[in-house]
Amino acid sequence: MNATDPAAQALSAAPPVSTDTERTLLVKVFGKDRPGITAGLFTQLAGFGVEVIDIEQVVTRGRITLCALVTPPPAPGAEGALRVTVHRWAEEHRLQAEIISGTGDNRPRREGRSHVTVLGHPLTASAVAALSARVSEAGGNIDRVFRLAKYPVTAVELTISGVPTEELRAVLAAEAAVQRVDIAVVRSGLHRRAKRLVVMDVDSTLIQDEVIELFAAHAGCEAEVAEVTAQAMRGELDFAESLRARVALLAGLDATVTEKVRSEVRLTPGARTLIRTLKRLGYQVAIVSGGFTQVTEHLVERLGLDFAAANTLEVVDGKFTGRVTGEIVDRAGKARWLARFAEQAGVPLEQTVAIGDGANDLDMLNAAGLGVAFNAKPVVREQADTAVNVPFLDTVLYLLGVTREEVEAADEVDGAPTGD
C-alpha cells in the first residue's frame, strides 16, 4: 500500500482498537466442525464493519469452538442486527452461538511466564487436576493449553503466568512425581526456540545398552563389570577409577570383537526420529560418552551426527590391553566436551540441550541451557532441569515445542519411516 494512499494514512493515524474501557463483543460459536465455519462467521461479521481484536479456535474430536473478540458495529443501532444475523447463520449451520458484551481486550499476561510440558503414559484426569491445583495455589494462571502429541505418550503444553519459573518448577516437579507423569518447566521467550545444539550421552540414553558390558560379555566378565557400572552410575564410585577397573577386565580380549559389539548395539526407541527431526530443524547433534570410540565412531556414521567424544580402548597386537588412551571422558570431561562442541558449532551454552541418565552426566546437564534426565537414576532426576521417564527418546522433541503432527508431516514429505 502506497504511503500516500488515504486508506494507509487513516490506518496509521487510527488509535488502538481497544482499551480497558471500550466496549467489545465476544462472539462464540461451537458445534460439529466442517470446512467453511471460520470463513462463514467472519463473512457475517464483515457486513457490520467490526474490527477483529482477537481470535481463538480449537477443534477437539470433531467439535469446533471458535471465539472472536470484535469491536461493536460503528453504525448506530446495528448491534442488535449483528446478534440476529450471527444467531440465524449459526442455526442454519447447526451450530450454537453466544455473544457476550463487555469491555476491553484480554487481561494482560502477568509477569513470570513459563511453558510447562506434561508427558503422561497415560495422562490421567487426576494428574491434570492435581497439577492445575498446584498452579493455582502458587498464584499462577493457566493462559493456554495445547496438545503436542497423543502417542507414544500424551503430551500437552501449558502456558502459565503469574509465578516465577523456578518456583513453578519446584512446585510442579514434586506433584509430577506423585502423579507419575513427566514435566518440564521452562521460561517463556525467544530463547526457548533458540537452542541449536543437542548433546547426548550414549549408554542407556542414545542406545539401550552399556557398551562396556557388551565387551565384557565376550570376555566372560559381564557380571563383575555390570556391578561396577551400576555403582558408578548411582554416584557411589568415582567414574574414572571405576572405568579403569572395568577396562582392566578386558585385557587380552581380541579386538576383532568390536564388529560383533557394534552389531549388538540397540538404539533407544525414537532415537532415529529425534535425530532426524533435529537435523531438519537446523540443530547440530553430538554424543559424548564414557564408553568407547570403537562404538561411537560407528554411531556417528550410522546416524549422521556432527560431533562425538568418548574414551578409546588401547589395542596392542590386535588385543585390548585393559587400558584406555588419551583424555578420559568422565563427569567433568563431559561438561568440557559440551563447551567445546558449543564453541565449534558457534552456539552459546544457554542455547544447548544435554540429555543423559547417569551421575557422570550431571555436570553436562547443569552446564547446558536445558538439561534432560532420560530414564535417569534418582540423583540425576532430582538435579536436572527436567526428567523424562518414558522409553521413547523422541519425546524430548515435545520439550522443545515440536508436535507429533509436525514430525510425521516432515517424515511423509521425505518418505522417512515413522516411529523408529
Q: Is residue 163 part of a domain?
A: yes
Same domain, 205 and 331: yes
Residue-level pLDDT at 193: 61
Same domain, 275 and 388: yes
Same domain, 300 and 378: yes
Cα–Cα distance between 159 and 186 in angstroms, integer? 10
Same domain, 85 and 160: no
Q: Which residues of 196-234 are buried (b: 16+ CB within 10 A; e: fewer)?
A: bbbbbbbbbbbbbbbbbbbbbbbbebbeebbebbeebbe
Which domain-ending residue is among 48, 79, 103?
Answer: 103
Same domain, 288 and 145: no
Which domain-ending residue is among 188, 218, 243?
Answer: 188
Same domain, 65 and 171: no
Q: Which amino acid is at 376?
A: A
Q: Is residue 221 part of a domain?
A: no
Same domain, 286 and 398: yes
Q: Is residue 261 part of a domain?
A: no
Cα–Cα distance between 184 and 146 in angstroms, integer? 15
DSSP collapsed to 3 states, the chain: CCCCCHHHHHHHHCCCCCCCCCEEEEEEEEEECCCCHHHHHHHHHHCCCCCEEEEEEEEECCEEEEEEEECCCCCCCHHHHHHHHHHHHHHHCCEEEEEEEEECCCCCCCCCCEEEEEEECCCCHHHHHHHHHHHHHCCCEEEEEEEEECCCCEEEEEEEECCCHHHHHHHHHHHHHHHCCEEEEEECCHHHHCCCEEEECCECCCECCCHHHHHHHHHCCHHHHHHHHHHHHCCCCCHHHHHHHHHHCCCCCECCHHHHHHHHCCECCCHHHHHHHHHHCCCEEEEEEEEEHHHHHHHHHHHCCCEEEEEEEEEECCEEEEEEECCCCCHHHHHHHHHHHHHHHCCCHHHEEEEECCHHHHHHHHHCCEEEEECCCHHHHHHCCEEECCCCHHHHHHHCCCCHHHHHHHHHHHCCCCCC
Same domain, 121 and 181: yes
Same domain, 403 and 328: yes
Catalytic machinery residues: 201, 203
The owner of cell 557400572 is 229
Q: Is residue 38 part of a domain?
A: yes
- pLDDT tens digits in sequence order for the chain, 420 residues long: 444 444 444 334 444 444 567 899 999 999 999 999 999 999 999 999 999 999 999 988 899 999 999 999 999 999 999 999 999 999 999 999 999 999 988 666 566 789 999 999 999 999 999 999 999 999 999 999 999 999 889 999 999 999 999 999 999 999 999 999 999 998 887 666 666 999 999 999 999 999 999 999 999 999 999 888 888 777 788 888 889 999 999 999 999 999 999 999 999 999 999 999 999 989 999 999 999 999 999 999 999 999 999 999 999 999 999 999 999 999 999 999 999 999 999 999 999 999 999 999 999 999 999 999 999 988 898 888 888 999 999 999 999 889 998 898 878 766 666 556
Same domain, 140 and 273: no
For residue 283, the domain's CATH number is: 3.40.50.1000
Give every CB contact of residue 87 below 8 A, 6+ residues apart in sequence.
97, 99
Cα–Cα distance between 313 and 324 in angstroms, integer? 5
Same domain, 302 and 407: yes
Q: Residue 95 is part of which domain span?
A: 23-103
Q: Is residue 31 part of a domain?
A: yes
Q: Is residue 419 part of a domain?
A: no
For residue 68, the domain's CATH number is: 3.30.70.260
Q: Looking at the chain, how many residues does it have?
A: 420
Residue-level pLDDT at 228: 87
pTM: 0.79
Number of domains in the chain: 3
Which domain-ending residue is among 48, 69, 103?
Answer: 103
Q: Is residue 332 part of a domain?
A: yes
Same domain, 99 and 161: no
Cα–Cα distance between 296 and 313 in angstroms, integer? 12
Nearest Cα to Cα of residue 364 among 385, 392, 336, 394: 336
Q: Is residue 381 part of a domain?
A: yes
